[in-house]
Amino acid sequence: MPTISMFYGILIKMFFDDHAPPHFHAEYGRLAWMQEVEQRRERLPRIRTCDYN
């Protein structure tokens, strides 16, 4: 399983095309857990960009 992030000894792992619902795995030493990712149907806020020319 690919590691996508590491911090304070915690490894965050996620498969691209894994089973539903979307989730990631975390490991810390001999501890391991799975966390579901909440999906929302809301629209993301629009981001304004600046042209510095």
Give the model confidence (pLDDT) of 2-51 as tens digits.
888 899 999 998 877 777 777 888 999 999 988 887 777 777 667 666 66
Q: Is 14 exposed, middle or buried (0-12, 13-18, 19+ CB in 10 A)?
A: middle
pTM (predicted TM-score): 0.58
In angstroms, the CA 53 to CA 40 distance is 37
Contact in structure between 2 and 14 (CB atoms under 8 Å): yes
